[in-house]
């Protein structure tokens, strides 16, 4: 193997012992051999560290590093950025797996297009323990008609905005040129839940060359009880901090109006979902909602939120006065509004859209677990 491999895979190995053998094997079994893998294991109460060390003894391309418990995977990704020898960085969580041909397909794509700052691909979500194709969900940021060619990161964000209005801000849904991340100091905030949410838009926006690999190349295991699947007070407070960071970023950069419209709708949708959706926010107290809203409306963030929200659709702008009321301590009206008006109307609109297009079932039935 060359001293400077084409790829570095950075794997987060904290507290994932039941899943690590499959995750590690998905890296070892890559059809493209020119890579190194770094297993970063924070303090675990299971045998995650031992499993990674045993795998590294069998495969010299693997290295193991350890660190203190940080409360998130940002420290793992940051370690990868600082210590990767590979030209490109690929991210893997310890309960997920890669398609065995991902690195091969990425290498062929880069051979075709030349150097790129970011190369995106697709994934499937798999509920823990499921193999039924009907239970799989596609994760992608691009429609096929928007995915060809090489374009800027700003253009990528606009194209992603046409893919159902939801931006999948998962770090592992792309490969990154390592030097691009280092030069721009694109480190993730340590200790936050959903650290990708404020990191991915900044990274994409800065990319000069961006491409999409039209492959389902990552398997994301959705586990009940994980930080990103169970709503919690920590999650909503961390989300509010990240929204503050994004609003600061959006106010400092020269953001075109069409992207402001996309971001305002996306970011408000995420905020509403985690704070007020009747199902996803069921465990959130009004006290936690108040703290999150206080964080968002505290000066000067409140003005930046209102300025960006001016580009959002009418239904997205309408609840803002109720959010401000919630930040002052009266959360009950906003909770009732979302439970009995906003989400029922939204479900009706989405139902009509699915009936009209008739595409959702067709897309889902074609999904499969990649090898």
pLDDT digits (tens, 9 = 90+) for 187-201: 999 999 989 999 999
Let me know: does 10 contact 91? Beta carbons within 8 Å.
Answer: yes
Q: Which domain-ending residue is among 198, 222, 246?
A: 222
Residues 261, 167, single domain; the answer is no
Instruction: Examine residue 366 and state whether it is found in any structural domain, yes or no.
Output: no
The tokens describing 200, both together, are: 């991915």
Q: Range with the lowest mean pLDDT among 1-5, 170-174, 208-212, 319-323?
A: 1-5
Task: Categorize the per-residue pLDDT at 353 as very low, low, confident or very high, splitting at 50, 70 and 90.
Answer: low
Residues 183, 244, single domain; the answer is no
Residues 325, 240, single domain; the answer is yes
* Number of domains comprising the chain: 2
Instruction: Examine residue 365 and state whether it is found in any structural domain, yes or no.
Output: no
Instruction: Examine residue 133 and state whether it is found in any structural domain, yes or no.
Output: yes
Q: Mean pLDDT, the chain, as a whole number? A: 92
Task: Categorize the per-residue pLDDT at 135 as very low, low, confident or very high, splitting at 50, 70 and 90.
Answer: confident
pLDDT at residue 224 tops 90: no
Q: Where are the alpha helices (DSSP H) in the chain?
A: 20-28, 48-58, 74-83, 102-113, 153-161, 178-183, 196-206, 233-252, 257-276, 286-297, 301-309, 314-317, 320-327, 332-337, 343-357, 360-365
Task: Categorize the per-residue pLDDT at 361 as very low, low, confident or very high, splitting at 50, 70 and 90.
Answer: very low
Residues 283, 217, single domain; the answer is no
Residues 197, 251, single domain; the answer is no
Which residues constitute the domain of residue 166? 7-222
Evaluated on CA atoms 139, 167, 117, 84, the torsion sign reads negative
Q: What is the pTM of this model?
A: 0.93
pLDDT at residue 173 tops 70: yes
Let me know: does 77 contact 85? Beta carbons within 8 Å.
Answer: no
* Count of residues making up the chain: 371
């Amino acid at each position: 193997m060359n001293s400077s491999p084409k790829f570095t895979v950075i794997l987060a190995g904290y507290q994932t012992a039941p899943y690590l053998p499959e995750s590690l094997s998905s890296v070892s079994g890559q059809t493209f051999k020119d890579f190194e893998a770094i297993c970063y294991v924070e303090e675990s109460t299971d045998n995650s560290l031992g499993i990674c060390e045993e795998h590294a003894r069998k495969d010299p391309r693997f290295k193991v590093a350890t660190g203190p418990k940080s409360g998130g995977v940002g420290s793992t990704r940051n370690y990868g950025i600082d210590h990767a020898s590979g030209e490109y960085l690929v991210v893997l969580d310890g309960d997920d797996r890669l398609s065995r041909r991902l690195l091969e397909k990425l290498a062929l794509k880069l051979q075709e297009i030349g150097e790129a700052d970011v190369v995106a691909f697709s994934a499937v979500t798999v509920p823990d323990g499921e193999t039924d194709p009907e239970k799989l969900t596609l994760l992608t940021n691009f429609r096929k008609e928007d995915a060809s060619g090489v374009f800027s990161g700003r253009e990528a964000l606009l194209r992603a905005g046409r893919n159902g209005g939801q931006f999948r801000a998962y770090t592992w849904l792309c490969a990154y040129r390592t030097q691009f991340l280092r030069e721009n100091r694109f480190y993730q905030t340590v200790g936050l839940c959903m650290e990708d949410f404020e990191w991915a838009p900044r990274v994409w926006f800065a990319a000069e060359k961006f491409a999409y690999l039209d492959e389902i190349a990552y398997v994301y295991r959705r586990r009940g009880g994980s930080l990103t699947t169970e709503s919690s007070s920590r999650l909503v407070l961390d989300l509010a901090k990240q929204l503050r960071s994004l609003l600061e970023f959006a106010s400092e950069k020269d953001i075109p109006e069409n992207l402001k419209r996309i971001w305002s709708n996306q970011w408000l949708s995420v905020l509403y979902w985690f704070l007020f959706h009747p199902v996803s926010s069921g465990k959130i107290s009004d006290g936690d909602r108040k703290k999150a809203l206080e964080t968002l409306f505290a000066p000067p963030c409140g003005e930046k939120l209102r300025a960006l929200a001016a580009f959002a659709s009418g239904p997205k702008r309408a609840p803002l006065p109720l959010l401000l009321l919630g930040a002052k301590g009266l959360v009950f009206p906003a909770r009732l509004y979302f439970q009995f008006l906003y989400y029922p109307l939204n479900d009706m609109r989405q139902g009509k859209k699915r009936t009209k297009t008739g595409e959702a079932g067709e897309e889902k039935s074609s999904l499969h677990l990649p090898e």
